Structure 1
Amino acid sequence: MGEPEVRAQLIEAAYAVVERTGALDLTMRDLLCEAGLSNQAFYRHFRSKDDLFIAMLDDGRRRMAGHLRRRMSGAATPAAAVRSWVEGVLGQAGDPLAAARTRPFLTHVDRLAARFPEEQRASERTMLEPLVAALRGADDGGPRSGAEQRGDIERDARTVYLLTVAALHQHLRDGTRPGRADTDHLTAFVLNGLRGTGDRSPDTSR
């Protein structure tokens, strides 16, 4: 087995333990038993458990970014692409596997971001990129009419990201699933903000 495969095996083993225990305080014994690997194998790839945790966050976000890109690829309009992004992110709360893998990180994500700021920014960018592309592709009929005059696309995308992830985290903490009304409300709020109008009936067609 090559070194990339060993690293991936350790990450998958950590996910399995987190899913089973519902916590991020996994022991090295549990992790290595799950992975079927040695201490030496672990320390060849990670300096500490926090190093493993930030790698798991990055892995999860990269998988999510791929999922978002696939969802958004079928969108007929920029507004529909933005809606698809919001739905895809919120959908993690309704997916039992994604929720089980994500929920334990809620109380640790700020600490990990402070300790690994560059890694945190890089993994967030993977989720932002498809949203930025959708906003850049919007024409005058899309959600960002007059956007060049109103501000920076990447800053707008980050604002949408922060708002949507905050909503996701609330659902994960509460153990709730976002319904259609939740998604419609958040998408309307986002699209109206991007338009810079008070219109409460945006085109949120898929």
Structure 2
Amino acid sequence: MLDVTLGLIEKSAPAMPSVAEIVAEAGISNQTLYRSFPSKDDLVLAVLEKGVGRVVQFVSGRMGEVHDPREQIAAWTRGVLRQVSSVEAAQTSRTVLGHLSTSGSASPGGSQHDLLTPISELLTAPLIALGCDPVRDGACISDLVLGAMRRHLWSSTAPSAEDVEWICEFALGGLNID
């Protein structure tokens, strides 16, 4: 159901597919859908959670390709910002997050923030390796990069390669390391 819903969102963005479209494409009944998800918002939230898992897997893979903790943080930054560099991915994210925001299912200070925590937690190991405070420094880097991602997402823009590298340098420059 999640893959079908995501596929429909990708096809129909910026519009959100209806429950009727989702159940027809999935070949299930409304009753089957609502047994698994109490509401359409719960289904869309599950799609978002799955998307976050994919981002974590992608970014983690990129970070694993380098061994220097500074380069891991830069890889994290590039990987996160890649989510708004792709026009299609950004449109899908805008559709899902916009739906959840207007429905009240995921406010910026609530569920959406909590959903992004696994992405932010990827910074812990490289920050510890650098002798930094993973909680405070991680929160600052995460706020910077996720804030830039949100700004680009909601303004329908994409960061340039130079912008991404500047954010990487800025984030690393803010760490108290020698």
Measure the CA separation in 1 of the matches of 2:22 and 2:79. 30
Q: 1:95 to 1:102 in 2, by over 3 A?
A: same
Q: CA RMSD in A?
A: 2.5
The partner residue of 2:19 within 14, 21, 28 is 28
Runs of at least 5 residues in structure 2 that lack an aligned partner in the other structure:
none
Alignment of 1:14 with 2:5, yes or no, is: yes
Aligned length: 176
- Preserved contact between residue 54 and residue 116 of structure 1 (Cα < 8 Å): no
Q: 1:117 to 1:106 in 2, by over 3 A?
A: closer
Alignment of 1:76 with 2:57, yes or no, is: no
> What's 1:191 paired with?
172
Runs of at least 5 residues in structure 1 that lack an aligned partner in the other structure:
1-9, 140-146, 198-206
Moved over 6 A (4+): none
> What's 1:168 paired with?
149
The partner residue of 1:55 within 27, 46, 50 is 46
Superposition map of 1:111-190 within 5 A: 111-114=104-107, 117=110, 121=114, 123-139=115-131, 147=132, 152-190=133-171
Give identity over the alignment, percent: 29
- TM-score, normalised with respect to structure 2: 0.85
Q: 1:65 to 1:27 in 2, by over 3 A?
A: same
- TM-score, normalised with respect to structure 1: 0.75
The partner residue of 1:86 within 77, 95, 98 is 77
How much does 1:184 deviate? 1.5
